[in-house]
Amino acid sequence: MRDSCDVLCAGIVVADHICTPISHLPAAGELVLADRLLLTIGGCAANVAVNLGKLGVRAMVLGRVGDDVFGRVVGEMLRGQGVGVAGLQTSPGVDTSQTLIVNVAGQDRRFIHTFGANALFSAADIPLELAKRCLVLYLGGYLLMPGVRPGELADVFAAARREGVRTVVDVVTPGPGDYLARLREVLPHVDVFLPNNHEAELITGETDPLRQAEVFHGLGARTSIVTLGGDGAVVVGEGVRLRAGAFAVPFVDGSGGGDAFAAGYVAGLLEGRDAEGCLRLASALGASCVQAVGTTTGVFTRSQCEEFLHTHSLHVETI
């Protein structure tokens, strides 16, 4: 019986401190006013779980927080969004992971991050019995968590896939590093791999998104999707090579856009959509996210997403 949840969202959980767009970065000693400062849910696992919930998908978070006020707030926020938190562990004596997100009007975001409890997360925090009963096992923030070892993670994914569970992986790359060594064992057990083009370049050394996607597919990922922000995405899979544009929407804050895309793609998988159908749903959810401040604030509900797809078109071409 798959009675636990539809999707297990494992990986990084973060308390985000985020400002509405400010006019400029402050100089030393200068005070710059923002309309609002928000404390919100952040981190790939938490964001994807919340976004899936908005689409009516049952999701549970597997992750770690500290025994501080931010850990309690994150747990309360997730519960308030209807997300399962039975797999959210508290690590004594450790801070909850946090990110300070600075939005400057007309510029890309700036991030200041502390690993906190996420550094303690490991593949052992993904219970095999739970993983075998879900429909999709998603891991977000791989490569950022030093405790997640490739061989152990590959074993978990392989066991889940033997039960018919689909596996989805997103990454976070904190600067240059030998990331391919941590992916070679894992990618053969991954159904959907979802880096952005900047992460993919750090991993592969390739600058062309299509070539990046081909490299990951060649290493074993069944479907490789390289997201390009406002320029869309490239998909390479078994008999599938697609390039999509992006929906034209007012841009406010890019925080969480990639996680919204991932949630949309996972929802598409659950609905039995083909790669193009999943891509359209993912792109719509990503477009909704960037229209509001925060990682999940503006993400569409199911009815909003369906209405948006009915009234907006997305260019998708075979390459």
| Angstrom distance (rounded) from CA 271 to CA 100 | 35
Tokens of 50: 């919340």
Q: Are strands 110-114 and 14-19 parallel, antiparallel or unpaired?
A: unpaired
Question: What is the 8-class DSSP label of residue 230?
Answer: G
| Angstrom distance (rounded) from CA 104 to CA 191 | 37
User: What is the SS3 assignment for 297?
Assistant: coil
The total of other beta-carbon atoms located within 10 Å of residue 198's CB is: 13
Select from 116, 22, 4 the least CA-distant residue to 69: 116
Question: What is the 8-class DSSP label of residue 196?
Answer: B
| CA distances in angstroms from 200 to 76, 136, 172, listed in the order given | 34, 23, 10
Q: Do 60 and 4 contact (CB within 8 A), yes or no?
A: yes
The radius of gyration of the chain's CA atoms, rounded to the nearest angstrom, is 18
Select from 225, 302, 224, 287 the least CA-distant residue to 257: 287
Select from 168, 48, 45 the least CA-distant residue to 117: 45
Residues whose CB is less than 8 angstroms from the CB of residue 208 and which lie 6 or more positions away in sequence, other chains included: none
Residues assigned a catalytic role: 259
